Structure 1
Amino acid sequence: MMSTPRPGEAPEVAGRTSTPKDHRFRGSLGRFATGVAIVTFDGATKRHGITVNSFTSVSMEPPLALVSIARTAKAHDELAGRPFTVNILGAEQRYLATHFAGRPGHEPRWVEGATAPRLAGVLAYFECRPWAAYDGGDHTLYLGQVVDFDYRHGDALAFANGTYTTIPDRELGMEDLL
């Protein structure tokens, strides 16, 4: 029997089935436009990539980034304690998003990073050393310390309302204003 959560605690979800309210919650979350990224890392026996849209910067000093990975993702358990790279996709790289979301297509081109592998030609990348991992319900929140990064100009790939879209590049970015 599931107990009622106390304030500040997440409800139990073991054995839970999807309800219409769950679909409304997911649909409501989908109204928030996000960028599209791929988390890459070397596993015990092979190289992995996981498409994510839950990525955020956490701290400038030290530089920290966070990704949220579903516990059901095939590579979820192997990511624990391993260096990883967050690869931000350009608008022309939708094929990479679908490839690493479970619909393989064109083989990606890899780059050997100093800490973790990354994908060639991405809009931006953040190589990270593992910093911490936190329970996030049906996800794990992996926090990494950024040890290398770079970017290029170009339109960004975004996801909103269940579909891919483009966020146009502007010549004067925030980094030029600081």
Structure 2
Amino acid sequence: MQSATGRNMIACALVALTLAACGDRDPELMNINRSQRTPDEFAILPNKPIQQPETYAALPTPTPGGGNLVDPTPDADAVAALGGDPRRVARNGGPLVGDPGLLNHSLRYGRRDAIRAELAAADLEYRRKNDGRLLERLFNLTIYYKAYEPYALDQHAELERWRRAGARTPAAPPQVE
């Protein structure tokens, strides 16, 4: 009786391990529980500060679902940070349409049209090769940090390298001894 129960338990464990090992899905290195009832901090975008316009005629006409002056504009902000004209983003529909200076600067090292697909395929292959051990997959453990550890930057060594090169790093905290 005891040996039959033990055999059944071993058989159940083997079936569970076999099913966990033979999934044909994309490997997920960061296992986050999506059923939590907590807010998504990445869905919250801060608005721009409210400012008094020079004239009230400059205000946009209110339209349902339309934008207003305090809405975040990450594309226009990125164009302005790179030295382009952020007003051209809104007028022409994109930063590459009417700003030749920004276009020339961003393409100075060349361009590969399929870079996103190439990187996605390379990352998928890397995740498949580094998707964790059997028990890590079985218990849905996060292995993201272990998998990408070879690509991690040692911040203290990099800071010392820049300091030895003579770069000023006033905002960097001192290394804890």
Category of TM-score, reference length = shorter chain: under 0.3
Q: Which structure has the larger Rg?
A: 2
Normalising by the residue count of structure 2, what TM-score does the alignment of the two structures yield?
A: 0.18
Structure number with the higher strand fraction is 1
> Normalising by the residue count of structure 1, what TM-score does the alignment of the two structures yield?
0.18
